Amino acid sequence: MNTQTIAVIHAAYEDAPQTVAMVEVPKDVTVAKKLDLAFMLTNNIDHAWWENEEVTPMFPEEACRSTCAGDMVLIENEKYVFERIGWRKI
């Protein structure tokens, strides 16, 4: 499968935005699907999110919080912020 690497950036509770993960998503899906996959793959559901096969953790600590409202995803040169309901391009 053709994949694309996108960046997950935590900014909601940080002093400065920090890239916490690089996530592999299918290249041929919609932007909305890529954003949803990035969100899902960087949330603790059944296990720590950085253990997901599609995720390369980029944080220096032993653990990292889940992605939440106020955090961002960078797809190529376009950035999106996760809001209470859905995503907004910034």
Q: What is the pLDDT of residue 58?
A: 96
Q: Residues 18-30: what's their mean pLDDT?
A: 97
Question: What is the DSSP track for 2-67?
Answer: -EEEEEEEE-SSSSS-EEEEEEEEETTS-HHHHHHHHHHHTS-SSS-GGGSTTEEE--SSS--PPP
**Contact present, 72 and 79 (Cβ < 8 Å):** yes
Distance (Å, rounded) from C-alpha 59 to C-alpha 43? 14
pLDDT tens by residue, 36-88: 999 999 999 899 999 999 999 999 888 999 999 999 999 999 999 999 999 99
Q: Residues 24-30: what's their mean pLDDT?
A: 97
Q: What is the pLDDT of residue 45?
A: 87
Distance (Å, rounded) from C-alpha 78 to C-alpha 60? 25
